């Protein structure tokens, strides 16, 4: 029985998160490759690969956790909230230049698959609102709909944190934690009900690619942030039973995530395997709820298993995964247009594997170039322009930005 304490509220680095980003990005790459070939419908494992777009939910849970945690830590610690200007600068430097580079370069290299940026609607793609129109969604970088949702979350989060601070002011630390968890759960339920109502009235709606349509996923990470700060410094043996289980048995927690994945892949839920599917409303909302359940179970051990016990630690500590996690943003941006360009390789035997490997190699090369030439140099300025003009950061130092 360990007596390890949960990470202190001042902690800004979660060492396993880069590996989780790699897992999320690779899962999205694999699900697209399996969907663009006959693998999903023609292979028994297709029931699993069709659900690997759950990587998007993992990204949203990670964002909800990392970006909300500093606000919660400041409030519960009686300190001023993080600087909004600094927060906005870090988010802009992290997201905007790499996306603009990918959008422009892909529109030049593979114009058949990314051509919206060179139309009169260019502002929608560069302005992170391409999820507002069904044509814009498919004529830019298609997976960037989730990036548009992330940007909307970035804008909304300081206002949400301010509302929480005012609504919870004057209450004890323990009371704030409980009330905030209840409020997050209630907002998640309302968001899920809203998805169901909108889908019932219009199954072709773009609501599912909006912030309100994905709010439930962000609340999973925000809830973990509240728990992480609320129980900071508490010995493992004194944690509430569910958190103690996660801290002491990360392998079993991931086993539960695996069970959720197998359930999603089973005929009991009836989720489709192909891109040209038609969901029932019940299946559509069940998938959404199961995805956030899986994502929270996957991420939770990386929040609480500070002593590094169990096989999840050994996997997430792998240097290869962490290196891929460093460039995972670029992999996510580049992979689908490149995959569409390489789709002809799917016609040969083992086409799914060939398409996956070729896309992985080329997308990782493009992502690495983006990181080395654009992302890492600009991230030197994340703490201010003077800091960026000072002495160059040590190798790998930029990658420790907790909200990458």
Q: Is 233 helix (H, G, I), strand (E, B) or coil?
A: coil
In this predicted structure, the answer to whether residue 5 has a pLDDT above a threshold of 60 is no
Question: At a CB cut-off of 8 Å and minimum separation 6, what does 342 contact?
Answer: 355, 358, 359, 362
Average pLDDT over residues 287-302: 97
Distance CA 69, CA 75 (A): 10
In this predicted structure, the answer to whether residue 327 has a pLDDT above a threshold of 60 is yes
Residue 182 token pair: 């209840």
In this predicted structure, the answer to whether residue 326 has a pLDDT above a threshold of 50 is yes
Mean residue pLDDT across the chain: 90
pTM of the model: 0.92
pLDDT score, position 9: 41
- Of residues 278 and 293, more confidence is placed in 293
The pLDDT > 70 percentage for the chain reads 91
CA distances 72 to 168, 180, 222, 272, Å, are 11, 10, 9, 39
Q: pLDDT band for position 293 (50/70/90)?
A: very high
Q: Is 5 helix (H, G, I), strand (E, B) or coil?
A: strand
Q: Is 235 helix (H, G, I), strand (E, B) or coil?
A: strand
């Amino acid at each position: 029985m360990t007596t390890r304490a949960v990470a202190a509220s001042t902690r800004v680095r979660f060492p396993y998160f880069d590996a989780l980003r790699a897992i999320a990005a690779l899962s999205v790459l694999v699900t697209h490759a399996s969907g663009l070939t006959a693998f999903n419908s023609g292979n028994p494992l297709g029931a699993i690969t069709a659900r690997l777009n759950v990587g998007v939910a993992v990204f949203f849970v990670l964002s909800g956790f990392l970006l909300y945690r500093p606000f919660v830590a400041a409030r519960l610690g009686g300190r001023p909230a993080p600087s909004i200007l600094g927060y906005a600068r870090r988010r802009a430097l992290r997201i905007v230049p790499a996306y603009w580079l990918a959008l422009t370069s892909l529109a030049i290299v593979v114009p058949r698959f990314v051509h919206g940026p060179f139309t009169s609607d260019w502002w929608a793609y560069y302005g992170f609102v391409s999820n507002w129109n069904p044509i814009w969604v498919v004529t830019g970088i298609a997976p960037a709909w989730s990036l548009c949702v992330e940007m909307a979350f970035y804008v909304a989060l300081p206002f949400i944190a301010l509302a929480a601070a005012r609504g919870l002011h004057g209450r004890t630390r323990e009371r704030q934690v409980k009330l905030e968890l209840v409020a997050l759960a209630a907002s998640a339920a309302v968001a899920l009900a809203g998805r169901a109502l909108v889908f019932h009235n219009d199954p072709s709606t773009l609501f599912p690619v909006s912030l309100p349509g994905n709010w439930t996923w962000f609340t999973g990470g925000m809830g973990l942030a509240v728990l992480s700060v609320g129980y900071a410094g508490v010995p493992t043996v004194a944690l509430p039973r569910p958190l103690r289980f996660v801290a002491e048995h990360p392998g079993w927690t991931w086993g539960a995530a695996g069970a959720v994945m197998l359930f999603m892949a089973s005929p009991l839920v009836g989720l489709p395997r192909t891109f040209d599917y038609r969901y029932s409303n019940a299946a559509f909302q069940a998938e959404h709820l199961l995805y956030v359940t899986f994502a929270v179970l996957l991420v939770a051990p990386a929040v609480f298993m500070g002593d590094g016990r169990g096989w999840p630690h050994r996997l997430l500590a792998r240097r290869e995964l962490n290196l891929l996690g460093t460039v995972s943003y670029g992999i996510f941006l580049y992979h689908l247009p490149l995959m569409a360009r390489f789709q002809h390789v799917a016609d040969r035997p083992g086409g799914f594997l060939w398409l996956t490997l070729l896309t992985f190699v080329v997308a990782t090369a493009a992502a690495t170039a983006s990181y080395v030439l654009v992302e890492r140099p600009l991230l030197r300025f994340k703490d201010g322009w003077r800091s960026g003009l000072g002495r160059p950061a040590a190798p790998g130092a930029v990658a420790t930005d907790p909200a990458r």
